[in-house]
């Protein structure tokens, strides 16, 4: 699994084929098929290894801490996918239904239900948070020259005609927002919104 993760991390998800993995292991594809039913099975197991790195603690979360738990889970998953940047693309190929992914999902949903989320809201909250993390993690795959690109974009904003683009020019020192800051800001907004929805449902 280490070799497969290395290929995905260093060469991208498209490079991860049974033939490429066999070459990395100095083996044959026939030997690999004794361990994996197909490339889809290989992808499922790789993804599950990454989910293992992001597992939540098994202990129950007090009601006052559900926001912290959601934030911690999202940030942990974002950080792990940041370390394995090819895996985010693999998550687009199939639902993460390996044993560690199932445990993480179960604990997250149970935490929401235990803290007063109605079932429909818990399901939608988890799904939306998961897609939010994945969407930002996919963008991490193209961040190798992010600092230089941000500096170049900022320079463009500083050179704009302030008469034609007064708002953009006025915010030129703030734009573009670094991806990690966008993620943290968006996550805080989502959790604040979930807090309002949860409170509204409890009052009905």
Q: How far is CA 150 from CA 112, 172, 176, in A?
A: 37, 11, 6
What gap in Å lies between CA 97 and CA 83, rounded to an integer?
21
What gap in Å lies between CA 94 and CA 96, rounded to an integer?
6
In contact, 16 and 4? CB cutoff 8 Å: yes
What gap in Å lies between CA 134 and CA 88, rounded to an integer?
6
Q: What are phi and psi of 169, to 5 degrees?
A: -65, -40
Report the 3 state secondary structure along 65-110: HHHHHHHHHHHHHHHHHHHCCCHHHHCCCCCCCCHHHHHHHHHHHH
The whole domain housing 158 covers 2-203
Residue 81 exposure: Cα atoms within 13 Å on the Cβ side: 29
Q: Is the confidence at residue 131, as pLDDT, over 60?
A: yes
Per the prediction, the chain carries an average pLDDT of 86
Q: Which residue has the higher pLDDT, 202 or 95?
A: 95
User: What's the mean pLDDT in 136-140?
Assistant: 89
Count of structural domains, the chain: 1
Q: Is the confidence at residue 5, as pLDDT, over 90?
A: no
The stretches of 96-170 forming alpha helices (DSSP H) are: 99-114, 119-140, 146-158, 166-170
Q: Which residue has the higher pLDDT, 187 or 1?
A: 187
CATH of the domain at 76: 1.10.357.10
User: What's the mean pLDDT in 33-56?
Assistant: 86
Q: How far is CA 148 from CA 9, 82, 153, 187, in A?
A: 22, 19, 9, 25
pTM of the model: 0.84
Q: In what helix (H) or strand (E) does residue 52 lie, and over which residues does it extend?
A: helix 39-53
User: What's the mean pLDDT in 105-117?
Assistant: 92
Q: What percent of the chain has pLDDT over 90?
A: 47
Band (pLDDT 50/70/90 cuts) for residue 56 is low
In contact, 61 and 109? CB cutoff 8 Å: no
């Amino acid at each position: 699994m280490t070799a497969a993760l290395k290929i995905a991390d260093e060469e991208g998800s498209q490079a991860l084929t049974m033939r490429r993995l066999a070459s990395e292991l100095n083996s044959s594809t026939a030997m690999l098929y004794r361990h994996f039913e197909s490339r889809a099975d290989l992808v499922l197991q790789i993804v599950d290894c990454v989910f293992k790195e992001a597992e939540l603690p098994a202990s129950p979360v007090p009601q006052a801490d559900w926001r912290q738990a959601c934030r911690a889970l999202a940030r942990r998953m974002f950080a792990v996918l940041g370390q394995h940047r090819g895996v985010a693309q693999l998550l687009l190929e199939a639902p993460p239904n390996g044993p560690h992914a199932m445990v993480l999902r179960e604990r997250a949903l149970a935490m929401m239900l235990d803290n007063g989320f109605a079932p429909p809201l818990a399901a939608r909250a988890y799904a939306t948070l998961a897609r939010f993390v994945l969407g930002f993690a996919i963008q991490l795959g193209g961040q190798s020259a992010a600092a230089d690109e941000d500096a170049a974009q900022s320079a463009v904003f500083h050179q704009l005609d302030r008469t034609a683009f007064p708002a953009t020019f006025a915010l030129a020192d703030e734009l573009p927002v670094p991806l990690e800051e966008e993620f943290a800001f968006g996550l805080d907004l989502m959790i604040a919104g979930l807090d309002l929805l949860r409170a509204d449902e409890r009052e009905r």
